[in-house]
Structure 1
């Protein structure tokens, strides 16, 4: 009888080990599937959600259900909005139009200086 118990005990442990291995395998495949479902959000959508969170007329949980976003994500976007709000009123703040014009003028200046350099190289014979 003592031998039977020992055999049953070993069988139970073997079964547990097999279950554990199967669980790990299932978890890995589930985790891999989750990565495929991941999605990015546009800046406009993030701003819309963050502004809705700033209004405080709905709770974060209600906004999460409304926009189908995790509540923690909404809190992070709200915090990012608060941290970067001062940039809107900053005098040195360049919008994308000003940056494009500046880059264009720099490229023109580089082209002009390159042409002058080539001309002087030919004239001086270097």
Structure 2
């Protein structure tokens, strides 16, 4: 069976096409033909842009939350590493 090569589109291209679709100056079919993309993909990208547009304005809070989680995880990794080393040394002494 012949394997199909899937085209991969970078996020900038998708955003540019989706923004053009939001302007509604051309139909999805016309945009798809002009950019060499299936019209269904153009519609999906437009929908994704509309659904996720609000996150563009909430990155600061999300970034701070992610930093807190990362700091907590790194601290926990450090604690577990110290415990593991301590127990490994105790095990070596008992042998």
| 2:7 aligned residue | 39
Q: 1:64 to 1:91 in 2, by over 3 A?
A: closer
Among 108, 114, 117, the alignment partner of 2:81 is: 114
Unaligned runs of 5+ in 1: 1-28
Question: Which TM-score applies when normalising by structure 2?
Answer: 0.63
Residues 3-44 of structure 1, C-alpha deviations (whole Å, 9 max, x = no match): xxxxxxxxxxxxxxxxxxxxxxxxxx7xx3xx4243122222
Unaligned runs of 5+ in 2: none
Question: Which TM-score applies when normalising by structure 1?
Answer: 0.51
Preserved CA contact (<8 Å) 1:60 1:75: yes
Q: 1:101 to 1:54 in 2, by over 3 A?
A: same
Once superposed, what is the RMSD of the aligned Cα atoms?
Answer: 3.7
Aligned pairs, how many? Answer: 91
Query: Does 1 or 2 have the higher relative contact order (CA < 8 Å, sep 6+)?
Result: 2
Among 18, 22, 38, the alignment partner of 1:70 is: 38
Q: 1:113 to 1:88 in 2, by over 3 A?
A: same
Q: CA deviation at 1:67?
A: 0.8
Preserved CA contact (<8 Å) 1:87 1:93: no
Instruction: Give, in whole Å, the separation in 2 of the partners of 1:43 and 1:117.
Output: 43
